[in-house]
Amino acid sequence: ADTALAQARDLDDRSALAAAAAAVDALLAVRTKASNTAALHAAASLAMELGELLATRPEEKGRERGDARQAELIETWLAEHPQPAPLAKVARARAARYRQHELESEEMYGNGHTLRTQGDFAGARTRLEEVVARPEWKRTAARELAVRELDELTVAVSRQEALGLELDRAMDKGDIARCYALIRELGIKYPPLLVQSEPPGAEVWQDGRRIGIAPLKLPIPGGERAAASFELRRDGYLTRTISGSAAENGWRLVARLERSAVQRLELALTVTSRPTVLDGHVWVANRQQAVAVALGTAKPERVLFESAAASAGTLTQPLYTAPVLADDGVLFATRDGLALRVTGSGGTRSVERLPLGGRSDLPLVSYRSQNIVGRRFLVIAGQDGALHAVDEHHPELAWNGPAGAPFAAAPSLVAEHVLAVRQDGRLESVQADDGQSAPGANLDATVIAAWATPTGLSGFTTGRSWTWDGTSLSGADLPQPAVAGGAGMFITADNHAWIMGDDAQHPWRDLGRFEGRLSAEPLVWHGHAVLPLGHSLVVLGAKPFTVTAAVDILAPALLGEQLVVTTMDGVVSIYAP
C-alpha cells in the first residue's frame, strides 16, 4: 500500500499511474484475503483518479495539462471528493510538487531570458536548455516558453554572428558611422578597441614590439584600456603616441599623424604678409622686416627696414600684401602709401622706399613703358576701389582710375594693359601708360575668388569658372555651387573640396569633405587640396595629412615641388610631395 501511495504521489505519466493501479489489482486477485485490502483498493483508486486528471482535453489534443493546472485540478478534486487523511496527504504532496516544478522552472527560465536581453547568449542558452532537459519540468509553462525562446535564440545568435562579422569589416574599412550603428544594434558594451591612423596604414607598436597595421582591432578588456599606450609610425610622418584613455566612446582611438617636414625654420617674428615664393626663396614680412628662406639653408636672409643698410624705415601700418619680383628687386605694396624695394642677395640686401599712388593689401604691378624710355609705373588696386599708377622716378607722373566696387584680386599686366576684376563681377582693362579705359567685360555675378595669371585673370562666381585675357572671356559651369576657391579648386557650402582633373568629360573631382572654415586662400598640390583652417592646415587627397599649430596658419605656397606652410608666429615648414 505504501508503494502504491508513493507511486500515486510521484509518477507523472498517466499510463504509469494506470499500470500502478493495475499492479495493485493483480496483487489483490492473488492475495484475496490480504489484511490491508481496503488500503490497497484506496491507493489503486487514487492512482487512477490522479491519472484521469492528467488526461488530455479535446481542445488540448496532443498536449498534457501543465503542472500549474494539475495542481489546481488536484486541489479542486480534493475539495469535491474528500479523502481520508493518508490519501489527501498524498494528493496534496503531488499538487505541491507540481507547484514547486513551476516555481523552479520559472526561475531558471527567467534567468535565461534576462541573460539573453543582456546579450549573454551563451549563458542564456545554458539555462534555457536546462529548463527543457529536466524531465520533471516537461509539463511546466516555463518549458514551453524556453523551447520557443531557444528557437528565437538560435536565430538571434546567427544574426549576431553575421552582425559581428559585418562590424569586423566596418572596422577594417574605418567605416565609423556603420560601426556605431552595428554596436548599437548588437548592444555591445565593450566592442574591440579600434586603433586608427589618419592617414591609414601606420604601424602600431606597443611595449617595443610591432603588433599590426592601422586600422587595427584589439580585444582589450574595458577595464584595461585606459592604461594601454600605443605608438603609431609611418614613413614621412612624425611618430605619435596615443593612450587608450583617449578612446572615443571607449572603443575608437584615432591618431592623426603629422607629416614630418624636410625643413623647418623658426624665424622669431610675427608674419603678417602673405608667404610668397620668388626666385627660389620663401618671402615673409611684417612692418619691421622682411625675411627670405631658401630650400636647404639653415639661416634665413633677413633685412630690417630700419637697419643701417635700409633707407625705408619702419612702416606705420601692418604689411599684408604678397611681394612681387621685378627686374630690380622684390617689391612690396603697403598701406602707408609707398612701396618697399628689397635689393641685393645674401647678407647684403637693402631696402628703399618708392612712391605709390595709394594704399593696398594686394600685390602691385611693375610696368616699364614701351613708349617712353626709363619710365616705370607701379600700379596698385587701391583700398579705395580705384587703380592707381605712379612713375617711381617722377611721382608727378601718375594716373588714377575711377573708384568702384572692391577689387577681388591683384591686377594683372598683359602686354601694355592692366586688367582688374571687381567683386561685383566687372572686368576692367586700362592702358598701362596713361590709365585710359579699354573695352572690358562683365560676369553679371559676384566674384567669390579670383587670381592673376600670366595671361590675364581667372576666378569663380558661385556657379561658373571664368578666364579673361583682356579680349576674350570664357567660362564653364561648375558641378556644384561654390562659396570659395583658389587656382584650380573650389569649395562648396557643405565643405567639399573640388579640384580640376584631367578628364575632359568630367573635369572636376570631389576630394571629399573637411571640417572647419577656410582662413586663407587654398591651393592645389600634386592632386591634393591644401586647406588653411585657422590653427590647422588639412591636405585632402590620396595621401592626406594635417598640420596643426598654436596660432593661425597663413596661406600655403609652393616652392618647386615642395609645399610651404607658414604660421603667424614665424615657423616655416617645407614638405615633400
Residue 59 pLDDT level (bands cut at 50, 70, 90): very low
Q: Quick check: is 546 in a domain?
A: no
pTM score: 0.66
The CA distance from 500 to 510, in Å, is 9
Supply φ then ψ for residue 166, to 5 degrees.
Answer: -65, -35
User: Is residue 118 located within the same domain as residue 217?
Assistant: no
CB 402 within 8 A of CB 386: yes
Which whole number is the average pLDDT over 391-416? 96
3-state secondary structure of 555: coil
Average pLDDT, rounded, for the chain: 87
Helix (H) or strand (E) holding 237: none
User: Is residue 100 located within the same domain as residue 217?
Assistant: no
Residues belonging to the chain: 577
User: Is residue 12 located within the same domain as residue 149?
Assistant: yes
Higher local confidence (pLDDT), 191 or 561:
561
Q: Quick check: is 198 in a domain?
A: yes
Model pLDDT, residue 177: 84
User: Is residue 96 located within the same domain as residue 141?
Assistant: yes
User: Is residue 6 located within the same domain as residue 150?
Assistant: yes
User: Is residue 7 located within the same domain as residue 128?
Assistant: yes
CB 385 within 8 A of CB 360: no
User: Is residue 197 located within the same domain as residue 145?
Assistant: no
3-state secondary structure of 457: strand
- Mean pLDDT highest for which of 162-176, 298-312, 460-474? 460-474
**pLDDT tens digits, 410-468:** 999 999 999 999 999 999 999 999 999 999 999 999 999 999 999 999 999 999 999 99
Instruction: Report which DSSP code applies to 136.
Output: G
CB atoms within 10 A of CB 184: 9
**pLDDT tens digits, 474-489:** 999 999 999 999 999 9
Which whole number is the average pLDDT over 198-213? 94
| Cα 37–Cα 40–Cα 46 angle in degrees, nearest 5 | 140
**Cross-strand partners of 196:** 254
Q: Quick check: is 21 in a domain?
A: yes
Q: Quick check: is 38 in a domain?
A: yes
**Cross-strand partners of 400:** 388
Reduced DSSP (H G I as helix, E B as strand, rest coil) percent helix, strand, coil of the chain, to 5: 30, 35, 40
User: Is residue 127 located within the same domain as residue 236?
Assistant: no
Q: Which positions ≥6 away from 502 have C-beta within 8 Å?
A: none
CB 69 within 8 A of CB 77: no
User: Is residue 132 located within the same domain as residue 226?
Assistant: no
Of 527, 478, 518, nearest in space to 499 by CA: 527
Q: Quick check: is 308 in a domain?
A: no
CB 533 within 8 A of CB 514: yes
Q: How many domains does the chain have?
A: 2
User: Is residue 226 located within the same domain as residue 102?
Assistant: no
Q: Which positions ≥6 away from 84 have C-beta within 8 Å?
A: 42
260 by Cβ neighbours in 10 Å (0-12 / 13-18 / 19+) ranks as middle
| Cα 327–Cα 330–Cα 332 angle in degrees, nearest 5 | 130
Domain holding 22, by residue range, is 2-154
Residue type, 462: T
C-alpha cell read off for 209: 614590439
Q: Quick check: is 140 in a domain?
A: yes
**Cross-strand partners of 556:** none
User: Is residue 196 located within the same domain as residue 128?
Assistant: no
Q: Which positions ≥6 away from 89 have C-beta within 8 Å?
A: none
